[in-house]
Every structure is written in structure tokens, then in C-alpha cells.
Amino acid sequence: MDGIHDLGGMQGFGPVAHSTGEPVFHERWEAEARALLELVASAVGATGGEFRHAIERMEPGHYLTSGYYEHWLTAAATLAVEHGLVTRNELSSLAGGPFPLSGPVLAASVTESAPDRTEPAYAVGDRVRVRDWHPPGHTRCPRYVRGHVGVVVRLDGAYSVPDIEAHGPARRREPTYSVRFDAVELWQDGQDGVTVHVDLWESYLEPA
């Protein structure tokens, strides 16, 4: 989905709030939120794709105004409600106030497994174009490279396609690639001497 999480290249943000030392968890609730998401994901058998998609479905304003571990908490509660472990009412009444959850899944469930494809269609040095499409579900294809041409620099083996595993019991493995894009090809204001490498599943690509 074209969600708020897909931040690459968005403008208007200020400086990075950089610090060289900070605790792993600033407050105890952050560690608890992290552990709760791990427990919920394991209890409902959520894949990495389903777990990430639960964060991606957060309301954009909430996403931008809450930190990383509030994202994890929201995803944990959303998955717990969607899989019937708890109810929305139980959560808000125990919390003594609103308990914002992520929005609904927009993509259809995928139930039919397609055969794995492990033989790579592209080789190092091949020019590829990223499909210019807008799937409603989970994808690991960032918006900022869609429609752009890059060069394959590395083959990384076959992995489960996140777009499929996030939406039901079906699984399919496909080759993944690291693809190099010149910044001037990606952005009109691209800086000279800059390349951006993005790791992409084969079905995100077409020959260029």
C-alpha cells in the first residue's frame, strides 16, 4: 500500500535528531511493547510481512507523531484484535481511553501457493526497470524506485515474497537482487556521485 511508512525521498523533514549514545530502551514500556509484539506474532503465527504490514496500516498522522515502539504496540494490539486474542473494547476500557489501532487490510487474502522460482532471471550487470504499480497490500518495493531503471549489482538468493506471505497462508520464494540506481536517475535534484542500492524481489522487476 502507498502508506506513510514508505518514506524514501519525502521532503519537508528537518534535521536528523542525532545522538551518539542513548539507552537501548528509554523507558520500560518500550521493552514491554517490543516483547508483546513478539508474543502476539508468535501466538497468531504472523510472518514478517504480516507484522510489518500491521505497522504500515497505521493512520499516517499517528505514525508520524509516535515513536518506533508505539508503532510496535499498535501493531501488537491490531494483530491481537484481528486474530481474536482480545477485543477492541477490552483494550480501550482497560486503557481507560482510546486505543488507536491500525486501519483494515485493503488487499485480498492470498491462499493459492504458486511454485517457487529459484532460478534467477537476471544477472549482475543487467539493466532492469522497477514495475510502476501500486499494490494495495504489503510490499517491500519502495515507491521512490518504481518506474526507474537500475543495474543489478548482486544476487542474494531466493526468499519468500513478502507481498504474498503478508496476506494469507500462501508462500512463494523468488530470487532477490541488489539494484543500483544513479541518484540523478531517481531525483531531478539528485546529487552527483551518489548511487542508491535497493534490494528487490524478482517480480518487482522487468527487463529494461
Partner 1 sequence: MSDAHHHTAPVSPVERRVEALKDLLTERGLVPEGYIEEVTRRYESEIGPLNGAKVVARAWIDPAYRQRLLQDGTAGIGELGFGGAEGHHLVVVENTDAVHNVIVCTLCSCYPWPVLGLPPSWYKDPPYRARMVREPRVVLSEMGCDLPASTEVRVWDSSAEVRYLVLPQRPAGTDGLSEAELAALVTRDSMIGVATL
Among 82, 83, 135, 187, binds partner 1 (CB under 8 A): 187
Q: Cell 532471471 belongs to which residue?
A: 121
* Residues in region 41-60 near partner 1 by CB under 8 A: 43, 52, 55
Q: Which of 161, 86, 155, 76 is nearest to 117 (CA)?
A: 161
Cα–Cα distance, 134 to 136 (Å, whole number): 6
The only residue of 105, 151, 198, 205 in contact with partner 1, by rule CB under 8 A: 198
Cα separation, 171 vs 154, whole angstroms = 24
Phi, psi of 33 (to 5 degrees): -60, -40
Q: Which stretch binds partner 1 (CB under 8 A): 29-37, 107-115, 116-124, 163-171?
A: 29-37
Q: Given candidates 2, 61, 68, 88, which one binds partner 1 under the rule CB under 8 A? A: 68
Specify the stretch interacting with partner 1 by CB under 8 A; choose among 64-72, 104-112, 120-128, 129-137: 64-72
Place of cell 542513548: 22
CB of 20 to partner 1, least distance (A): 6
185 binds partner 1 (CB under 8 A): no
The sign of the torsion formed by the CA atoms of 200, 116, 160, 113 equals positive
Residues from 117 through 136 that contact partner 1 (CB under 8 A): none
| Residue 191 beta carbon to partner 1: minimum distance, rounded to whole angstroms | 5
Please name the helix (run of DSSP H) or strand (run of DSSP E) that holds residue 207, with its range, or none: strand 205-207
Instruction: In angstroms, give the least distance from the CB of 36 to partner 1.
Output: 6
Stretch that binds partner 1, among 107-115, 119-127, 154-162, 164-172 (CB under 8 A): 154-162
Buried b (16+ CB within 10 A) or exposed e, 61-88: ebbeeeeebbbbbbbbbbbbbbeeeeee
Q: Is 1 in the site for partner 1 (CB under 8 A)?
A: no
Q: Does 85 bind partner 1 (CB under 8 A)?
A: yes
